[in-house]
């Protein structure tokens, strides 16, 4: 799948200068030396052997380019979706000396190239621009630079070469391809302006609330005539207001557990979290709700305040694409503590996407729940890793030193899973629902429970 093409003018210009090549120097030095010595020592063999080299050198020199070529290079698209492809293109305008073009790209993680060797050659026909292109397909969300590339333009007999050191390009953002997600149950306590969720307040809406006596300001079309005739007093039908809600997504990037094979392959915990967050954001933004995003533990990823609309979906996906897993340093933990001090609006639904390895994040979910904020935790740990009996290959993906100490690593992973179970049980007992990510309907049951619970009297700590 290739994204639609954009004009080549967006490619960045590349600058360098023509230089004689070692091959030209070789032909000049060896040819000249053979001819001269052949004449000097009166050996016609040297003269004849050196003549072709001398002629090649002369040819290259006479046809040497007198101005730099116009070259533009870079990826055709700077934003892709997972699984989408683009082309890394070098376009050389025809000019003196422009005959042969070679392009080679360095490897990029989570990217497939066509040709697989990541190198192409092209020849000028002397009329149109020469285009050398390598097709690239991004398999995983993220922000990566394709390349850098090595580019060379050569003249006659490879005598002169125009070659910049390396051609860097702007990083390409691959936004996550959101999983399929839908939720039929509305958010528990919508508290916005106009939306599609039934609020607890009476107002203009589609859902029946009750039949009550007419008050000043009620619309005549709301009059319920059967009851009005039976009772002798005007009665109207009242409805619940339809309001939008706020969904705050908290993505736990403190750990990335498991192997990431890109779109269609195995997913790590951070893959699951990012794709699930994208899916949830897409669903709620399309239904007119407001979505906010915070990536916990990641450096350089801005927090997104809640907003609505298609442009905001683009912002959410771009922000998710910039997510990188924390390195677990002290600075990262300090940053996490700062990120956990955020504001949550009244009536907002908080969705925490975490592999539940970091106790701080689960503790934060618990604290929010105690404040009376509806919180749902989505467990993003890949299901195959949630087993205490991992085989050596899987153990290697969760414990870095597993190949050196397999028994100790397995034991450590079991202990970590026990702690995780304990913390999750504690959270559940405190009223925080934890569900594994399973695509459509993941949140339906817990949202229904949260809706019931929100209508019941409760004690909250503020």
| Chosen residue from 5, 8, 12, 48 binding other proteins by CB under 8 A | 48
How is residue 299 written in tokens? 């450096």
Which one, 57 or 174, has the nearer CB to other proteins?
57
Size, binding site for other proteins by CB under 8 A: 62
Place of tokens 């701080």: 360
- 50 lies in the site for other proteins, by CB under 8 A: yes
Q: Is 121 an interacting residue with respect to other proteins (CB under 8 A)?
A: yes
Closer by beta carbon to other proteins, 52 or else 109: 52
Name 155's Cβ contacts closer than 8 Å, sequence gap at least 6.
Answer: 18, 60, 63, 64, 65, 97, 98, 99, 161
Decide: helix, strand or coil at residue 453: helix
Q: x/- site string to other proteins, residues 321 to 360, per CB under 8 A? A: ----------------------------------------
Using CB under 8 A as the binding rule, the residues of this chain from 8 to 47 that contact other proteins are: 17-23, 25-27, 29-30, 32-36, 39-40, 42-47
Give the other-Cβ count within 10 Å of 435's Cβ: 14
Q: What is the largest CA-CA distance in the chain?
A: 134
d(CA 53, CA 23): 10
Is residue 92 part of the contact set for other proteins (CB under 8 A)? no
CB 264 within 8 A of CB 229: no
Give me the 157-176 binding string for other proteins, x by CB under 8 A, dash otherwise. Answer: xx-xx---------------
What's the min distance (Å) between Cβ of 443 and other proteins? 49
> Which C-beta is closer to other proteins: that of 94 or that of 406?
94
| 117 belongs to the binding site for other proteins (CB under 8 A) | yes
Q: Does 115 bind other proteins (CB under 8 A)?
A: yes
Q: Round to whole Å and give the CA distance between 81 and 429.
A: 39
Is 111 one of the binding residues for other proteins (CB under 8 A)? no
Element at 406 (helix H, strand E): helix 406-429
59 near other proteins (CB under 8 A): yes
- State whether the Cα torsion 452-456-460-462 is positive or negative: positive
Q: Does residue 154 belong to the site contacting other proteins (CB under 8 A)? A: yes
Check if the beta carbon of residue 218 is closer than 8 Å to that of residue 167. Answer: no
> Among the candidate windows 53-61, 170-178, 194-202, 297-305, which touches other proteins by CB under 8 A?
53-61
214 touching other proteins, by CB under 8 A:
no
Scored b (16 or more CB within 10 A) or e, 63-98 reads: bbbeebbebbbbbbbbbbbbbbbbbbbbbbeebebb
Min separation Cβ 144 and other proteins, Å: 22
Plot region of 437 (φ>0 → left; ψ -120 to 50 → alpha; else → beta) = beta
- What does the binding site for other proteins look like in residue numbers (CB under 8 A)? 17-23, 25-27, 29-30, 32-36, 39-40, 42-53, 55-56, 59, 61, 64-68, 99-100, 102-104, 115, 117-123, 125, 150, 152, 154, 156-158, 160-161
């Amino acid at each position: 799948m290739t994204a639609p093409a954009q004009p080549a003018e967006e490619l960045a210009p590349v600058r360098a200068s023509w230089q004689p090549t070692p091959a030209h120097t070789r032909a000049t030095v060896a040819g000249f030396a053979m001819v001269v010595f052949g004449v000097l020592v009166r050996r016609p063999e040297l003269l004849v052997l050196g003549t072709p080299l001398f002629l090649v050198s002369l040819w290259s020199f006479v046809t040497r380019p007198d101005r730099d070529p116009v070259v533009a290079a870079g990826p055709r698209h700077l934003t892709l979706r997972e699984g989408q492809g683009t082309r890394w293109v070098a376009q050389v305008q025809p000019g003196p000396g422009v005959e042969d073009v070679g392009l080679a790209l360095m490897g990029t993680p989570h990217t497939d190239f066509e040709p697989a060797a990541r190198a192409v050659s092209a020849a000028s026909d002397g009329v149109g621009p020469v285009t050398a292109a390598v097709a690239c397909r991004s398999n995983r969300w993220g922000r990566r630079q394709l390349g850098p590339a090595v580019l060379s333009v050569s003249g006659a007999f490879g005598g002169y070469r125009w070659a910049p050191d390396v051609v860097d390009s702007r990083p390409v953002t691959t936004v996550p391809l959101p999983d399929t997600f839908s939720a039929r149950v509305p958010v528990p306590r919508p508290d916005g302006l106009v939306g599609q969720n039934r609020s607890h307040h009476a107002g203009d809406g589609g859902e029946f609330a009750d039949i009550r006596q007419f008050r000043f300001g009620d619309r005549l079309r709301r009059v319920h005539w059967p009851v009005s005739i039976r009772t002798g007093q005007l009665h109207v039908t009242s409805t619940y207001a339809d309001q939008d809600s706020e969904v705050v997504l908290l993505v736990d990037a403190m750990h990335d557990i498991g192997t990431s094979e890109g779109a269609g392959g195995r997913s790590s915990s951070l893959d699951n979290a990012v794709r699930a967050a994208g899916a949830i954001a897409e669903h709620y933004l399309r239904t007119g709700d407001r979505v906010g995003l915070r990536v916990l533990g990641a450096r350089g990823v801005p927090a997104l305040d809640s907003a609505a609309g298609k442009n905001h979906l683009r912002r959410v996906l771009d922000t998710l694409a910039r997510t990188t897993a924390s390195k677990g340093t002290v600075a990262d933990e300090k940053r996490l503590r700062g990120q956990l001090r955020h504001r949550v609006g009244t009536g907002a639904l908080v969705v925490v996407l975490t592999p539940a390895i970091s106790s701080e994040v689960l503790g934060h979910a618990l604290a929010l729940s105690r404040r009376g904020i509806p919180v749902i935790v989505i467990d993003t740990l890949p299901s195959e890793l949630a087993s205490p009996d991992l085989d050596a290959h899987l153990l290697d993906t969760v414990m870095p030193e597993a190949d050196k100490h397999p028994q100790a690593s397995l034991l450590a992973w079991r202990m970590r899973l026990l702690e995780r179970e304990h913390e999750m049980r504690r959270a559940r007992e405190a009223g925080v629902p934890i569900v594994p990510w399973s695509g459509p309907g993941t949140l339906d049951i817990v949202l229904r429970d949260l809706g019931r619970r929100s209508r019941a009297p409760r004690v909250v700590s503020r």
